Amino acid sequence: MSGGGRPEVSVPHAPDLRPAIVAIRWHSDIVDQMLRRALEAAERAGAQQPRVVRVPGSMELPVVCQQLTHDCDAVVALGVVVRGGTPHFDYVCESVTSGLTRVALDESTAVGNGVLTVDSREQATLRAGFDDSIEDKGFEATAAALETALVLRELRGGYSNERGFL
């Protein structure tokens, strides 16, 4: 698993941001935990209550995230893709990652990628922000998306260059 060199997660002070979180229905026990942690990050940042949208699976994340960028300052995608015995895993992971990147660039909006791409459910639970997890990707993706939204706002001249962190 990754994680080496990861900076400490800081939550920006973002009281006026409008976030959205899109979560898949697959692996609901894991994704629901990631969603709880994403909502916690938004609450700590003081952001507006995030709009939460559920989608069938990971392939649907990019198009729904793109639609949400029209009304939101930051969008977070949450999902879990577990490797199987076919190349399907590779196609899904590549499509979702490329799609989310394209949304961020095409819409000039912060998109947090909280899609876990793992070899097993056990690896996913270790990254999902449970009490015994070693990572907290829902929380981290949300904090990163909110901070990026503030950076974009600053670069566009709409915000002070003194971003505060909680």
- Binding site annotation covers 9? no
Which DSSP string do the residues of 97-140 spell out, in sequence order?
A: HHHHHHHHHHHT-EEEEEEEEESSHHHHHHHBT-TT-S-BHHHH
- Binding site annotation covers 59? yes
- The residue written with tokens 């392939």 in the block is 59
| Separation CA 97–CA 25 (nearest Å) | 18
- Binding site annotation covers 127? yes
User: Contact at 8 Å (CB) between 142 and 112?
Assistant: yes
Whether 13 sits among the annotated catalytic residues: the reply is: no
Element (H, E) at 61: helix 61-68
- Binding site annotation covers 82? yes
- Binding site annotation covers 81? yes
Strands 19-24 and 51-55: parallel
- Binding site annotation covers 80? yes
* Marked catalytic residue, from 13, 27, 70, 88: 88
- Binding site annotation covers 113? yes
Sequence ranges of the binding site: 26, 58-60, 80-82, 85-86, 113, 127
Binding residues for 5-amino-6-(D-ribitylamino)uracil: 26, 58-60, 80-82, 113
Catalytic residues: 88
List, as residue ranges, the binding site for (2S)-2-hydroxy-3-oxobutyl phosphate. Answer: 85-86, 127
